[in-house]
Amino acid sequence: MTTLERPQPLLSMAEKTARIDAICAAARILPVITIAREQDILPLADALAAGGIRTLEVTLRSQHGLKAIEVLREQRPELCIGAGTVLDRGMFNAVQAAGAQFVVTPGITADILAAGVESDIALLPGISTPSEIMQGYALGYRRFKLFPAEISGGVAAIKAFGGPFGDIRFCPTGGVNPGNVRNYMALNNVMCVGGTWMLDSSWIKNGDWNRITECSAEALALFD
């Protein structure tokens, strides 16, 4: 095997943690996007970007998720495109092939955590309990999505996690809204939040892209 043919070493878990940190610092809000119609892919992304949201989590909750990731990576290379609602290794491999730049899961399994260790794509695993944090921690994960955040204890839970898990940081998702987002972002162990309030389904259905742009800008202004 020649030097060029040799597989390149994987990024370390510390390097992947740094990559997640950079993605979340730039994003502040990860919009959780479900594409109902292929025709909405580009105008929706453009509306979010015009409002300042340029890091997008495209979920696999619809048949258009993989296509959306492929289209956005090809036609909007200036955006950072991640894949959400990744449930197993097959989905992980599919979003990797589609060009996803990061992966988010709603929960964890041993196999999905192993897939993240074995890939150079940074994985943000979903957790809701200390035991799940410890399962990921043992493999080198230091960044997690708390999901569903409000049902799982919200701000109080994240504060409590800060005691035993001092080097862990979170992206709370699920129930985060304009009324509570500042409470989450005030916590030292919160790096960004996931949300959907700038993605009202009626706005998307009606092509009200200006409304989405305005709401995106208003959402980011909550962090100022």
3-state helix, strand, coil in the chain (%, to 5): 45, 15, 40
Q: Evaluate whether 223 touches 185 at the Cβ level (below 8 Å).
A: yes
Beta-sheet strands, E only, within the chain = 29-33, 55-59, 80-84, 102-104, 122-124, 126-127, 143-146, 169-172, 193-195
The catalytic position among 145, 150, 159, 218 is: 145
Determine the Cα–Cα distance for residues 161 and 188; give it in Å rounded to an integer. 11
Alpha-carbon distance of 74 to 41, in angstroms, equals: 12
Catalytic residue among 15, 16, 38, 57: 57
DSSP letter, residue 63: T
Write the secondary structure of 19-34 as one string of H (helix), E (strand) and C (coil).
Answer: HHHHHHHHHCEEEEEC
**Is 145 an active-site residue?**
yes
218: annotated active-site residue: no
Q: For residue 82, list its beta bridge partners.
A: 57, 102
Which of 106, 58, 65 has its CA nearest to residue 80?
Answer: 58
What residues act catalytically?
57, 145
